[in-house]
Copies of this chain bind each other. A is one copy, B any other.
Amino acid sequence: MSTIAASPVTAEERVAAARERMLRAKEASRQVALLGDDAKAALLTAIADAIDAASADIVEANADDLSRGAVEGLSTGLLDRLRLDDARVHALAEAVRAVAALPDPVGRVLDERTLDNGLRLQKVAVPFGVVGSIYEARPNVTVDIAALALRSGNAVVLRGGTAAASSNAALVAIMRGALAAAGVDPEAVQTVDDFGRDGAAALMQARGIVDVLVPRGSAQLIETVVTTSQVPVIETGAGVVHIVLDASAPTDWAREIVVNAKAQRPSVCNAVETVLVHRDAAAHLVPELGAALAAAGVTVHADERVRTLLPDAVPATEADWATEHMSLDLSMRVVDDLDDALAHIRTYSTHHTESIITTDDANAERFLAEVDSAVVMVNASTRFTDGGEFGFGAEVGISTQKLHARGPMGLPELTSTKWLARGAGQIRR
């Protein structure tokens, strides 16, 4: 008799099969939650070693994805993000080793109090249980999220982009093998990639099984997850990021920070998208910025007042103000004053990062107090909004929501809390 189960055929069967796998992750999460610091670090080191050892197999699986992607007409950019070679596989393993070296976020005592009746209370950091992630076709995310989840004592359910299915399957198999070799239930790392859209649907319906869902990818993917999921979501976000050049902005800071924030790495969420220039500084700042940005290859999309100073700029459309370009394009507008700048930011910001360049302390403090974004800066490049730059050692993502975590998230943001109460027969009077 065959021991191979029939493949699920209908959408309902695929959702049910995905759910079954997630329940096994939940069961396994109990064991992972109780692993000590050393055991978790050793487990991640074993995973890193296994990835290095299987480099040839991973590259071979990735070649399947690449040739399928080429046939399906994926863009050069997408194919590049998908591609793994030995060097990139080794970089994956090294990233896992870096996570292994981070301090254990579990068990931290976050609050402590003893009631008058002697009952001792402690609020401690505990793993969530099962962390889910839905992301696009980047195999490095598969390993990244699994490593971060395991390091913080969680099981993980992964749903990556279909274009990376073979790479992801190979990486998941290697991680599960390393878990089993370490005596940890391999069901703690699951993929629902093979159930396609139904796998994602099952993940978003898995309230009570999956404790938190972290979408990573395009604004559209995140919007779909945020509005569909019944599992609590941590929204990692798109960045329509602003820099305000106040009347007092020093020219050198304005030029260096804007060019850095746009051109150092334009495809990331902390890159600036819109520069708002105070009208009293426009006459000297706009031409200076225009020249520096042109030299850096940046196309400026400008309002009418900027265009009088920068005639070669592209006229900005209404859509430009709300666009995360992800490219060497920058929107620029002249504002009447700080109120005007703050109103523009309220209308168009995605609440990721905004910065003001000013030597006026009152304006700086007003900007810090009134801008409602995850990170609000004075006289610094928005590119600093990053878990690595903040000293977190690794980054789960950058939260643009207000619940649970806001801004760059490190390992502690993958934990919840639990109150422990130790008594000696206390009852309530």
A residues adjacent to B (C-beta < 8 A): 30, 34, 113, 115, 119, 121, 123, 126, 128-129, 207, 211-212, 226-227, 230, 232-234, 250, 252-253, 256-257, 260-261, 264, 355, 364, 368-370, 372-381, 383-385, 389-391, 401-404, 406-408, 416-428
The contact of A421 among B227, B256, B380, B402, by CB within 8 Å, is B380
Which of B260, B416, B417 contacts A428, CB < 8 Å? B260
Q: Are B427 and A383 in contact (CB under 8 A)?
A: yes
Are the CB atoms of B425 and A257 closer together than 8 Å? yes
Chain B residue at minimum C-beta to C-beta distance from A357: B425
- Least CB separation from A128: chain B residue: B402
A296 to B184, CA, bound (A): 48
Task: Tell me if A383 and B212 are in contact (CB < 8 A).
Answer: no
A404–B119 Cα gap in the complex (Å)? 25
CA distance A233 to B402 in the complex (A): 11
Query: How far apart are the CA atoms of A35 and B25 in the complex, in Å?
Result: 47
Residues of B contacting A419 in the complex (Cβ-Cβ under 8 angstroms): 374-376, 385, 390, 406-408
Asked if B421 and A384 make an inter-chain contact with CB atoms under 8 angstroms apart, the answer reads: yes
Give the most central of A390, A403, A406: most B CB within 10 Å: A403
Decide: A375 and B421 in contact? CB cutoff 8 A. yes
Most buried by B among A379, A381, A407, A427: A427
User: Given A384-B421, A402-B416, list of 10 further CB < 8 A pairs?
Assistant: A34-B370, A113-B390, A115-B390, A119-B384, A260-B427, A264-B428, A378-B422, A380-B426, A380-B427, A384-B428
Residues of B within 8 A of A368 (CB): 420, 422
A207→B126 CA distance, assembly (Å): 29
Please pick, from B30, B123, B233, B427, the residue contacting A257 in the complex, using a CB distance under 8 A: B427
Select which of B115, B385, B416, B422 is within 8 A of A379 by beta carbon.
B422
List B contacts of A378 (CB < 8 A): 421-423
Q: Chain B contacts of A406 at CB under 8 A?
A: 416-419
Residues of B within 8 A of A119 (CB): 380, 384
Find chain B residues with CB under 8 A from A376 CB: 418-421
Give CA–CA (A126, B351) in the complex, Å: 14
CB of A203 to closest CB in B, whole Å: 15
Q: Please state if B425 and A256 are interface contacts (CB–CB under 8 Å).
A: yes
Name 13 interchain pairs, CB-CB below 8 A, sorted by A.
Answer: A34-B370, A207-B227, A212-B403, A250-B425, A260-B428, A264-B427, A368-B422, A372-B418, A380-B423, A381-B427, A384-B426, A402-B416, A406-B419
Taking the closest CB of chain B, its distance from the CB of A363, in whole angstroms, is: 13
- Is B404 within 8 A of A403, CB to CB? yes
User: Closest CB of chain B to A403's CB: distance in Å?
Assistant: 4
* Residues B381 and A426 in contact, CB atoms below 8 Å apart: yes
